[in-house]
Amino acid sequence: MSLTIKELAALSGVIGTWVTAIVAFRGINTWRTKMNLEIVEEFLVALYQYEYALLDLRRPYSNYSEFSRSRGAFEQLVLRYNVRTEQLKFARDGLNRTRIKVQVRWGDFANLKISHLFYLEGLLQHQINILLMAEDPHNSSELRREYYSQLDREILYAKQNEKDDNFAIDIRVEAHEIKKSMSEKVLPKNTITSIFYFPVYCLKKMIKSLSS
Number of separate domains in the chain: 1
Give the burial class of 27: count Cβ atoms within 10 A of its Cβ; 0-12 exposed, 13-18 middle, 19 or more buried. exposed
Domain that holds residue 89: 5-211
The tens-digit pLDDT sequence of the chain (212 residues) is 454 555 545 545 554 554 455 455 455 456 667 777 888 888 888 999 999 999 999 987 644 444 455 557 888 888 889 989 999 999 999 999 999 888 888 888 778 778 999 999 999 999 999 999 999 999 999 999 999 999 999 999 988 888 889 999 999 999 999 888 887 776 555 444 444 444 444 445 445 554 55
Q: What is the pTM of this model?
A: 0.71
Instruction: Count Cα atoms within 13 angstroms, Cβ side, for 142.
Output: 0
Cα of 79 vs its chain's centroid, Å:
29
The set of residues, in sequence order, having a beta carbon less than 8 Å from that of 117 and lying 6+ positions away, is: 50, 51, 54, 171, 174, 175, 178
Dist. CA 97–CA 120, nearest whole Å: 20
Q: How many CB atoms lie within 10 A of CB 6?
A: 11
Contact 185, 40 (CB under 8 A): yes
Contact 58, 158 (CB under 8 A): yes
Closest CA to 40 of 172, 187, 170: 187
Phi, psi of 101 (to 5 degrees): -65, -40
Dist. CA 182–CA 31, nearest whole Å: 18
Distances from the Cα of 110 to the Cαs of 48, 50, 55, 146, 205, in angstroms? 15, 14, 21, 39, 40
